[in-house]
Amino acid sequence: MNFYEMPCGCKFEVLDDKVKDNDGLPSLKFDFYKIQNCSGVWELLSRGDTKGVFQLESQLGQEWSEKLKPKNIDEIAMLTSIIRPGTLEGEIDGVSMTQCFVDRKHGRRESIPPHPAMKNILEETYNIGCFQEQSIQIVKDVAGFSEGEAELMRKAIGKKDVKKMAELKPKFIQGCINNGLNKEDGEEIFSIIQSSERYSFNRSHATIYSYLTYITAYIKYHFPELFFTAWLHLSKEKIDPKAERKDLINDAKRFNVNIFPPTLEFLSKGFGTEFFNKGKNIYFGLIDIKEIGYKNISSLIKSIKELELRYKKNVSKVRWFDFLCNIGIDINKSVLNNLILVGCIPGSESRKTKIVEYKMYKTLNDKEQLWLKNNCDKFNSLLEALKTYINISRNDGGPYNIKSKEKIELIIKSLSSNSYNLNDDPSWISVNETNLMGVSLSSHILEDYDNLGDTSCKELYDGKGSGNVSCVISEVKTTVTKKGKNPGQEMCFLKIEDQTAVIDAVCFPDIYKKNKDLIFEGSVVIIGLKRSSGKSMQVTSLTRS
Partner 1 sequence: MINNNTIIVYDMETTSANPHTTQPIQLAAVAIHSQKLEIIPGSEFESLIKPIEDEEEQSKLGLGVIEDEALRVNGKNIEELRYAPPLKIVWDQFVQYIDNYNFRKNIYTAPILAGYNIIGFDNIILNRIAGPHGWNYGPWDNKKNTNSLFSQVYKIDLLDTAFMWFSNCAEPSKLKLTSLLEYLGMSTTGSHDALIDVKNTANLVCKFLRLHRELASRVKWNPNV
Stretch that binds partner 1, among 127-135, 210-218, 409-417, 531-539 (CB under 8 A): 409-417
Q: Is 462 an interacting residue with respect to partner 1 (CB under 8 A)?
A: no
| Closest to 267 (Cα-Cα) out of 235, 303, 291, 231 | 303
Query: Should residue 522 be labelled a site residue for partner 1 when binding is judged by CB under 8 A?
Result: yes
Q: Does 542 bind partner 1 (CB under 8 A)?
A: no
Distance CA 24, CA 5 (A): 12
Among 111, 435, 468, 538, binds partner 1 (CB under 8 A): 435
Among 524, 530, 531, 538, binds partner 1 (CB under 8 A): 524
C-alpha span between 545 and 538 (Å, rounded) = 19
Residue 97 zone, left/alpha/beta (φ > 0; ψ -120 to 50; rest): alpha
Instruction: Please give the Cα distance from 114 to 12 (Å, whole number).
Output: 47
Q: Which stretch binds partner 1 (CB under 8 A): 3-11, 66-74, 123-131, 412-420?
A: 412-420
Paired residues of 60 in beta bridges: none
Q: Give the 3-state secondary structure of 31-91.
A: CHHHCCCCHHHHHHHHHCCCCCCCCCCCHHHHHHHHHHCCCCHHHHHHHHHHCCHHHHHCE
Q: Which of 393, 421, 486, 533 binds partner 1 (CB under 8 A)?
A: 421
Applying CB under 8 A, does 521 fall inside the site for partner 1?
yes
**Residue 300 CB contacts under 8 Å (≥ 6 apart), including other chains:** 264, 267, 286, 327, 331, 335
Which CB atom, from 85 or from 522, has the smaller least distance to partner 1? 522
Contact yes or no for 233/285 (Cβ under 8 A): yes
Strand partners, 466: 530
Nearest distance, CB of residue 414 and partner 1, angstroms: 5
Which neighbouring-strand residues pair with 278?
281
The one segment of 15-23, 126-134, 210-218, 427-435 that binds partner 1 by CB under 8 A: 427-435
Site string for partner 1, 70-89 (x = CB under 8 A): --------------------
Rule CB under 8 A: choose which of 209, 211, 266, 428 binds partner 1. Answer: 428
Which one of 388, 423, 479, 532 is in contact with partner 1 (CB under 8 A)? 423
By CB under 8 A, name the one of 405, 516, 531, 535 that touches partner 1. Answer: 516
Q: What are phi and psi of 414, to 5 degrees?
A: -65, -45
Please state the closest distance from residue 524 (CB atom) to partner 1, in A: 6
Residues 313-352 close enough to bind partner 1 by CB under 8 A: 352
474 near partner 1, judged by CB under 8 A: no
Binding of residue 486 to partner 1 (CB under 8 A)? no
Asked whether position 381 contacts partner 1 by CB under 8 A, the answer is no
Strands 536-544 and 524-533: antiparallel
Q: Are 157 and 135 in contact (CB under 8 A)?
A: yes
Applying CB under 8 A, does 183 fall inside the site for partner 1?
A: no
> Binding pattern to partner 1, positions 131-170, x when CB under 8 A?
----------------------------------------
Member of 420, 463, 483, 485 binding partner 1 (CB under 8 A): 420
Q: Do residues 480 and 459 make contact, with C-beta atoms less than 8 angstroms apart?
A: no
Q: What is the DSSP letter of 364?
A: S
Determine, following the binding rule CB under 8 A, whether residue 488 of this chain makes contact with partner 1.
Answer: no
Three-state secondary structure call for residue 412: helix
**Contact status: 543 vs partner 1 (CB under 8 A):** no
- Measured from the CB atom, the residue of 195 and 427 that comes closer to partner 1 is 427
* Whole-number Å distance between alpha carbons of 249 and 265: 21
**Is residue 470 at the binding interface for partner 1, with CB under 8 A as the rule?**
no
Among 19, 392, 410, 480, binds partner 1 (CB under 8 A): 410
Applying CB under 8 A, does 362 fall inside the site for partner 1? no
CA distance 249 to 441: 9
Q: Pick the closer one to partner 1 by CB: 43 or 448.
A: 448
427 binds partner 1 (CB under 8 A): yes
Residue type, 247: D
* Beta carbon nearer to partner 1, 191 or 418: 418
Q: How far apart are CA 260 and CA 330, in angstroms?
A: 27
Contact between 390 and partner 1 per CB under 8 A: no
Stretch that binds partner 1, among 142-150, 295-303, 422-430, 535-543 (CB under 8 A): 422-430
**Residue with Cβ nearer partner 1 (71 or 405):** 405
Angstrom distance (rounded) from CA 98 to CA 83: 7
Residue count at the site for partner 1 (CB under 8 A)? Answer: 28
Q: What angle do CA 313, 319, 321 make, to 5 degrees?
A: 135
| Residue 408 near partner 1 by CB under 8 A | no
Please identify, using beta-carbon distances, which residue of 125 and 432 lies nearer to partner 1. Answer: 432
Contacts of 513 (CB under 8 A, 6+ apart): 489, 490
Closest CB 358 distance from partner 1, rounded Å = 11
Q: Which stretch binds partner 1 (CB under 8 A): 85-93, 191-199, 261-269, 512-520?
A: 512-520
Q: What is the rounded (10 degree) CA torsion for 18, 20, 26, 28?
A: -120
**Nearest residue to 224 via CA among 441, 34, 6:** 6
Q: Which is nearer to partner 1, 425 or 510 (CB)?
A: 425
User: Is 417 a binder of partner 1 (CB under 8 A)?
Assistant: yes
Helical spans, DSSP H, in 255-394: 294-311, 320-327, 333-341, 351-362, 366-375, 382-389
Q: Which residues bind partner 1 (CB under 8 A)?
A: 352, 355-356, 359, 410, 413-414, 417-421, 423, 425, 427-428, 431-432, 435, 448-449, 516-517, 520-524
